Every structure is written in C-alpha cells, then in structure tokens.
Amino acid sequence: MKLTMASSPHNHNHKNVSKLMLTVAACCIPGIIVQCYFFGFGVIVQLLIALVTASLSEACMLKIRNRPIWPTLSDGSAWLTAVLLAISIPPLAPWWIIVIGTLFAIAMVKQLYGGLGFNLFNPAMAAYVLLLISFPVQMTSWTMPSELIAQPIGLIDTLSLIFLEANTAKQSLISAMVTVDGTTMATPLDTVKTAVSQNLTVTEAMSGKQFDELAGIGWAWVNIAYLVGGIFLLKAKVINWHIPLAMLGSLALCAAIGFIIAPGSQAGSVFHLLSGATMLGAFFIATDPVSASTTNHGRLIYGACIGLLVYLIRSFGGYPDAVAFAVLIMNMTVPLIDHYTQPRTYGHGATK
C-alpha cells in the first residue's frame, strides 16, 4: 500500500474546491426556484448580472496581482459569492446595486485580503451590509409575493425596471403592488417590526393577507426550500451540523422565551425560523469554511451567538432582518473562539 503524507486540513470527502463550491451552488437551486415562483424573473436577472460581474472583477484583480486567472476563477468561489449576494437582494433592484455589491465582495473583501482562504469576513454578507447602509431605499423595496399582486410583472417590465428604470415599467410595478388588502412592499419581518413600534400587537400585525399560518406568504416556502438544500449539504458532508443546528436552536429558543415573556410584542419561534434569510444564513452563509470557526466546540459557540444576535437585532435593533450583521460580527470573533476551543493534543497533562 502507498502511504501519502499531507498536511492538514484533510479533505475526507475527496472533493476539490471547485466541486465543493459547485455542490453548494447546486443546493441553492430549490430555494432559487421557489424565489422565482413567488418574486418573479428578477431573481434570475440579478443572478446573471452578479455572475458576470464576479467573473470580470475576479479576473481583473488576478491580473493586477499577477496571478493565473483561470485556475483561480474556475474554483467557483467567486461565482458562489455572486449567487449568495444576488439571492439576498430585492429582485427588482437597479442593475448597479448588484454590480457595486459584487465588485466590492470580490475585489475588496476577497482579493485585497489575499484571495480564497485569507478573507476575514464573509464576502457576500460584507457586500450586503455595504449596500443596505448605502442604499436603504433600493435594498428594502421587495416585491410582494405573486399570490398577492393584482397584476403579474412580466419579463419585459422586469428588465425595464432593472436596467432602464423606465416609466412604463414603474407604472406596471405600481399597479402590481396594489394588493388585495393594501399591503406595502415591506417584508413580513419589516411589517411586524413597524407594527409593534406603532403599539400594535404581533397578532394584529400578522392578521393581514401578507401572512399565512406559519409566517409571511412566500417567505415560509423560500426558507423551507433552503432548508431542503441545506439537508442535502449535510448529507453530502460538505458542511458540518454544528453551526446550522446551533444557530437555529439558539434563535428558536430566544424567540420562544421572548414570546413567553411578551407575547404581544414578540413573534414566536416558527415565525423567526421561516422569515427573512434564516435558513439561507444557517446552511449557506454562516457555514462559510473560511470565515467561520474551525473547531467543533467553536462552531457550536459561533452558531449559537449568531442565532442570539439575529433575534436581538430583529427584536430590538434598527433592521428587520439581521443575518448579515450577525455573521459579520461573529466573523470578527472567530480567531478568539478558535484559540480557546482548540482540542488538547494527545497526551496533554500526562505524568512522566
């Protein structure tokens, strides 16, 4: 038998970086399909723009750094970043939103830190926060689910809104946004947060037709779809169970406690788990192998703290969804977490 010596980390599932990135992207497909069903063609358009921008910006930065272009570009990490950012922004956001975000994620957060394996922060979430803070109107203008709009937005109007912001398309959008009960374009998380700030109860906030028995219409199914994709990632052993389980368990526990203490102003666990980017964050974002904790105990702490931060920001902070902020905050703590959760070496403390 031939013995091959290699340094850690060891890849037990015999997949190279390119195959791993492709697997993660493929597991996003169920969620992307459901997003397209509820929120229209804009999801695909944003994906295409992001992929083109990521490819060009990665190639340019590699050229500037005198690094080989295709071997690095073909590992798929830039494309995966583009996918995660594109499915996180409103489908009808202007084209320059996704271009700026993708360029920042690849050029600034990834390449300026040294490329794959050296970035401190999750590139997609760093870009998302940049866009949210810089362009809050465009980043919070989500379309209503297809079941609630009076007039579907076609492909031509979608392209006009994204690339031209044409008046005819805007009129179509305004007509489409006249929902059956006058609901605005706010997400379910934003709707509940705004209602509670106006001294309404969560039950009153969720009485509109924008909500069903679980959470917001469309959003619950999107989260379930990403949960399915996440389960495939676990079965393929692309990610470990520690971070998703710790994050979701922490978020559910905090929401349950909050609901018991203040049921009028705090939503329950199911609503938090099936709203916003919860499942996408738990399985596809928080588990980033570069910016997440690398020890098993550290992953549990890392995931649990993300869940806690998501709940606190959603409930008491200024933003309705909080996955990006929570992930970036915990990215900064990873070196400390890993330092104190390193497993002891074999024979540690043994007497001579």
pLDDT, tens digit (0-9, with 9 covering 90-100), for 131-146:
999 999 889 888 888 7
d(CA 323, CA 332): 15
What are 83's two structure tokens?
């996918």
Residue ranges per structural domain of the chain: 17-185, 186-340
* Model pLDDT, residue 180: 41
Prediction pTM value: 0.88
Q: What is the rounded end-to-end Cα distance, in angstroms, of the chain? A: 36
Of 35, 99, 109, 43, which is closest to residue 77 (Cα–Cα)? 109
Return the C-alpha torsion angle 48, 49, 50, 52, nearest 10.
80
More confident of the two residues 10 and 66: 66
pLDDT above 70 as % of the chain: 87
Q: Give per-residue burial for 148-176: e unless 16+ CB within 10 Å, then b.
A: bbeeebeeebbbbbbeeeeeebeebbeeb
CA distances from 70 to 52, 55, 59, 61 (A): 15, 10, 8, 12
pLDDT one-digit tens code per residue, 166-196: 555 555 555 555 444 444 467 888 888 888 8
Cα–Cα–Cα angle for 129, 55, 116, rounded to 5 degrees: 65
d(CA 288, CA 286): 6
pLDDT one-digit tens code per residue, 89-102: 999 999 999 999 99
Contacts with 208 (C-beta within 8 Å, 6 or more apart), sequence order: 181, 183, 191
Give residue for tokens 């905050």.
329
